[in-house]
Each structure stands twice: as C-alpha cells, then as structure tokens.
Chains A and B, each alone.
Chain A
Amino acid sequence: MPLLQINNLTHYFGGLRAVYDYNLTLEEGEIVGLIGPNGAGKTTIFNLVTGAYKPSEGEVRLNGDELVGLRPHQITAKGIARTFQTIRLWNDLTVFDNICIAHAARIKYGVVDSILHGERYREEEQEIKERAMELLAVFGLDGDAQELAKNMPYGAQRRVEIARALATEPRLLLLDEPAAGMNPGEIGELMEFIHQIREDFDLTIWIIEHQMRVIMNICERIKVIDFGQTIAEGTPEEIQNNPKVIEAYLGEEVF
C-alpha cells in the first residue's frame, strides 16, 4: 500500500479553482518535489493535505486511512508534519518549548494530572523533555534550548521549524520552501541535512521549492503544476527538458 494516496483533489476559493483533479501516490521513503510558477496552487495542496483547508472534492489517504474531514491536529497525529513557507514558530516561547509542545498529540495524561502533577505526569513530561533535548542535539541546537525562538538567526529558525515538525513523530514530512531566504552555503547544508534526516528518521519527504538547485539535487521524482493542474511528472532530467514546463515558466531561464 502506498504511504500517501491523493485522488481527484479539487479545491475552490469561491469561484476560483485553485486545485483541480490532483492525483499523487507517494511510496515509503521517497523524496518527491512539487514545483510550479507562483500562484500555481502548491501551498494550497499542502494546506488541503494537512487539513488546514477542507477540500471541495477528492480524497486523501495515509496508509489507507481517509484524512479528509479530520482536524489538522488529528492528521498530524496520524503522521503528517509540515513546515511553513514563512516561518511560523511560537516566537515568544523558548526553542525548547517549541519542540516540547509539538509532542502534544502523544500526551496521555489528562487535565487533572496536568494540575496535580502525579506520577504518570512526571514520567511522561520527563520523556518529552528528554526526547526534545535529543532532537535539539541532532539539529545542533541544544545550546540554544532556552533562547526565545524569535531571537534565533534565520537559518536556525528554519532548523527549529523542521525539528518541531519531527517532534510530532511523522512518517511523511512536507517542506514548504525550506531554502527560501538562504544563501548558497546554507542551501548546501540544507540539502545534506534533508538527506540525513530522511535516513535517521525513516521519513518520506514531499517538498515545495523554488530553488531549482535543491529540487534537481534531492528529488527522485518531480510533479509540476500550473493553475492548479498537473502539467508534467517525471525524473529531474525529464522535467528539465519538458516543453510544457518551460512554457509554464514563460521561457524564463530557470534550469
């Protein structure tokens, strides 16, 4: 069974057709790219899959379970995590708390325990704190655990966001323009980093990116959309030479 199966996904904003008849099958362990000109509907697809928007039509299945109609936190609990195009950390909280709170779906103690701080609460909180510190260590952020998220440098904030997404223990990670605003050196590190977390956390990755260097380098398969519709699909080499794709980008010299 594929990890993620999207069938006939369609979404309207009022009269505007943002996504039309989108289909995708993601196998476990793949890195797949989603590209397209500005306004093509890429982020809308991510929003539909994660439950931020409810699709007008179509179905989204993770391991065969229907996701349409679930609330976003339920979808996250089932194993899909994402980062945002513009960083959306909880700015006035510490980096450590940013990671801890993302464990919310795994909390088994109830309200009463959260107030009385019983045995079970202590065990679970201790576990969350240890896991958060481990995760921060993997990302080289353990020294900044008590720093407020908003005080971190831009590149580090991107890493905190990925760490926060991984704290939800996902099977599938959606990255929305992770390289936006990074310099070439940072982009190189990011690409290595994405490969590394895929190995370490056993992830499937679905990535939106405008930096063609990133997409061509790390993706095994790419889907191109324009005006909400799929216009091409294939390996990086096939995409680079596809006339429809070149036309969609209006002959810009992107490749």
Chain B
Amino acid sequence: MKKKYYPPLIVLLLFVVAIGGSWLGIFNEYWQLVLLFMGINIILTVSLNLINGHMGEFSCGHAGFMAVGAYVAGILTVWLFADDKVFGPPVLPAAWAIPLFPVALILGAIAASLVGLLIAIPSFRTRGDYLAIVTLAVNYIIKSAIENMEFIGGPRGFVGMKRVMNNMADVFDVPWLLIWTFVGMIVTILIIRNFTASTLGKGVKAIREDEIASELMSVDTRRVKIIAFMLSCGLAGLAGGLFAHWPGGFINPGTFTILKSTEVMVMVYLGGMGSISGSIISAVGFTLLLELLRPLGLFKWVVIPLLLVVMMLRRPTGILGNKELTDVFPRLRAFFGSEEESYALASD
C-alpha cells in the first residue's frame, strides 16, 4: 500500500504560515490573538465532540474543566518562573521555562482529566437531561471553588502569566504560546481521530447508538465512558492551560462560566455531532464570525443566536452532520486518506 505524506505536509505548511507570519510580524498582535483563540476553540470543540457527538451524552460543563487546566498550569508556571507576591521569587531560572512549559500544560490537563472522573461516574447511571444537570453543577462547583480560594485571587482572578511568557520571549524570541497552541491542536485532533478509529474507541459510538446492546455485545461501557470523559476533560484542561497564558495576562473564574460552556456546545452542534472536520470548520468559522461582527457591538449577540436559529431550522444536523469532510468530498481522500481505510480496501 502506498504511504500518503500529504497530511504532515499540510500541517507543516499551516505551521509555517501561522507561526512564521506571527514571528515576522506579518500578522499583527490582533490577528495573533485571533489565531490563538482559533486554536484553543478547535481543541475545546473537538474534545467536547467526543462526549456530546461521538458518545451522544450531554455534557455542558466543559468550561469547568478548562478552568482546572488553566489554574493548575498558570499557578505552576508562575510559581516556577515568575516573581510573584504570593509565590515569591522564581524557583527556577527563566531558561527552564522553555522545556518545562509543555510539562505544566500536561499537568494541567491531567488535573482536569482527574476531575473528569467526577462526571464519568454519574454517567454510569444517568443519561441525557440528568447528566446535563450533573455537568452543569460540576461547572458551578469548580467556578465557586476557585472564587473562594483567596490565595489565587478568588473572584478577582489570577495574574502573572504574562511575566512567564515575557521571560520565555527574552530567552528566545519566538511566539511560544502560538507554537504550543498549534502543537496542542494537532495533538488533540490526532488523539480524538485515532481513538475513535480504534475498535476500543468505536465502543463510544456503540454507546451512542444503543448502550444496553453495547454492554451485552462485549463492550465494557463503564471503561469506555471513563476513557472518553477523561480524554475529553483532559484536553479541555489543555485548552485552559494555553488560554491562561494569553497576552491579556490574567484569568478569572468569571471566564469559565456556563456561558463559555455554551459557546463550545454551539460550536460542536454547528459543526456536526461526531464529525472532527466539522468541529474544526465550525471552531474556525465561529471564531472569525465573532471577530467580523465585532463592529456591531452588543448587537453581535442578537445576530449570532439568530444565525444559529436559522442554521438549526435549515440544517439541524450541523454543517457536516456526522460525516467527515472526506465523506462529503471523496476526492479529498487522496490527501487525507487514513490508514484504516487502506486496511479495509486491502482486505476486500
């Protein structure tokens, strides 16, 4: 079978354009910010789609897990690499921030995925509306917990990440945050794509179709649910860790409310449930739309929901439904054909 090299090439090209353009200043700070949010939104949407799309559960607390990742990664980097009035002088020299920054992101993701266990357990017993209420509650619990932790700023928020990013830029001047966001985005897409393509991961779709039949047909539904929730929440934590280091330099609990969760859900349903490429398209499109409609000011929040209503009336399954871009345009297979499909063809 002929090995296809196109996807890595396309990724490399995007990387060069996004990061190179930002580094050379072709994209100004505003567009760099848009690129950053695009990347973070892709991570959030693709990861939530594993639960709400592929598995057909209804989790609406994604922002809560994002908050866990944001605070854990943010506190770690500030404690280690920045002069802070709560955590004192930096523990490690600034140069160490460069290799250890992704480690802080991963630790944030692990913390978020452990909290994800919290919603995996009620999901054994409840589905649909009930699970939605449980996840909503988890979102509120996390937000209130952070608001009541005075040592990390409570409701006022947590600052200091800007100093970490400045220190990293002083050592070596490249757009570090954009680079790691890009890497995080690719890793997220690969994790979700590979997992859902495996027989173990297809158990997620079987649960969506018929949970009882899945359990009776040898799918360990509890294990599959735990894996799916931990993966999804962990990746939300990764997105949070990246977001914590945005140029604004602060995070506060008010960012991670049910509104943020709703925004992610909107992107999932806009793109199509269970479609990875749909999630990517809708995350990019939605981020751009928010920026394009910025001149409308407050009316933005009239136009966007209206667009959603029209969308749901005209195309209730989202942009791509549960299909991938390669299903809609088979010619794209020449570029993005996966190893799985080659297997299936080889065994015919």
CB-based nearest B residue for A146: B344
Residues of B within 8 A of A168 (CB): 217-218
* Contact yes or no, B209 A90, CB < 8 A: yes
* Contact yes or no, A76 B202, CB < 8 A: no
Interface string of B85-105 (1 = CB under 8 A from A): 000000000000000000000
CB-based nearest B residue for A130: B347
Count contacts on A: residues with CB < 8 A to the other chain: 45
**CB pairs A–B below 8 angstroms (14 shown):** A52-B212, A84-B213, A90-B205, A90-B206, A91-B210, A93-B209, A101-B199, A103-B199, A104-B200, A104-B219, A107-B200, A115-B195, A117-B339, A125-B340
Residues of B within 8 A of A111 (CB): 195, 200, 227
* Contact yes or no, A71 B219, CB < 8 A: no
Residues of A within 8 A of B348 (CB): 133
CB-based nearest A residue for B221: A73
A133 to B221, CA, bound (A): 25
A92 to B56, CA, bound (A): 12
Residues of B within 8 A of A97 (CB): 202, 205
Given contacts A90-B206, A91-B209, A93-B209, contact A76 B217 (CB under 8 A): yes
Given contacts A77-B218, A114-B194, A115-B191, contact A96 B344 (CB under 8 A): yes
CB-based nearest B residue for A114: B198
* Contact yes or no, B191 A76, CB < 8 A: no
B112 to A: closest C-beta gap in Å:
17
Residues of A within 8 A of B194 (CB): 114-117
CB-based nearest A residue for B344: A129
Q: Does A121 contact B (CB under 8 A)?
A: yes
* Contact yes or no, A164 B199, CB < 8 A: no
A165 to B213, CA, bound (A): 11
B43 to A: closest C-beta gap in Å:
15
- Counting from the closest, the 8 A-B pairs by CB-CB distance are A90-B209, A105-B218, A114-B198, A88-B213, A76-B218, A72-B215, A114-B200, A104-B219
B203 to A: closest C-beta gap in Å:
6
Q: Chain A: residues with CB nearer than 8 A to chain B?
A: 50-52, 71-73, 76-77, 81-82, 84, 88-93, 96-97, 100-105, 107, 109, 111, 114-117, 121, 124-126, 128-130, 133, 145-146, 164-165, 168
* Contact yes or no, B344 A88, CB < 8 A: no
* Contact yes or no, B202 A101, CB < 8 A: yes
CB-based nearest A residue for B224: A104
Count contacts on B: residues with CB < 8 A to the other chain: 34
Given contacts A52-B212, A129-B344, contact A114 B201 (CB under 8 A): yes
A162 to B203, CA, bound (A): 19
CB-based nearest B residue for A121: B198
Given contacts A92-B209, A101-B203, contact A50 B218 (CB under 8 A): no
* Contact yes or no, A90 B347, CB < 8 A: no
Q: Does B9 contact A (CB under 8 A)?
A: no
B21 to A: closest C-beta gap in Å:
31
* Contact yes or no, B220 A104, CB < 8 A: yes
CB-based nearest B residue for A149: B209
Residues of A within 8 A of B218 (CB): 73, 76-77, 102-105, 168
Interface string of B331-348 (1 = CB under 8 A from A): 000000001100110011
Interface centre among B219, B227, B340 (most CB of A within 10 A): B219
* Contact yes or no, B203 A104, CB < 8 A: yes
A100 to B202, CA, bound (A): 9
A8 to B339, CA, bound (A): 52
Residues of A within 8 A of B322 (CB): 92
A87 to B221, CA, bound (A): 20
Residues of B within 8 A of A133 (CB): 347-348
Residues of A within 8 A of B200 (CB): 104, 107, 109, 111, 114
Residues of A within 8 A of B347 (CB): 129-130, 133
Choose among B206, B340, B343, B344 the residue that contacts A101 (Cβ–Cβ < 8 A).
B206
Q: Does B302 contact A (CB under 8 A)?
A: no
Residues of B within 8 A of A89 (CB): 209-210, 213
A82 to B215, CA, bound (A): 12
A107 to B: closest C-beta gap in Å:
5
Residues of A within 8 A of B313 (CB): none
Given contacts A88-B210, A129-B343, contact A102 B217 (CB under 8 A): yes
* Contact yes or no, A101 B195, CB < 8 A: no
Interface string of B32-75 (1 = CB under 8 A from A): 00000000000000000000000000000000000000000000
* Contact yes or no, A73 B216, CB < 8 A: yes
Question: In B206-253, which residues have CB < 8 Å from any A CB?
Answer: 206, 208-210, 212-222, 227
Known: A101-B214, A133-B348; 18 extra A-B contacts, CB below 8 A, are A73-B217, A73-B219, A89-B210, A90-B213, A90-B214, A100-B202, A102-B218, A104-B220, A105-B218, A115-B190, A115-B195, A117-B194, A125-B198, A128-B199, A129-B347, A145-B344, A165-B217, A168-B218
Given contacts A91-B209, A111-B227, contact A104 B216 (CB under 8 A): no
A15 to B: closest C-beta gap in Å:
24
Choose among B199, B222, B227 the residue that contacts A104 (Cβ–Cβ < 8 A).
B199
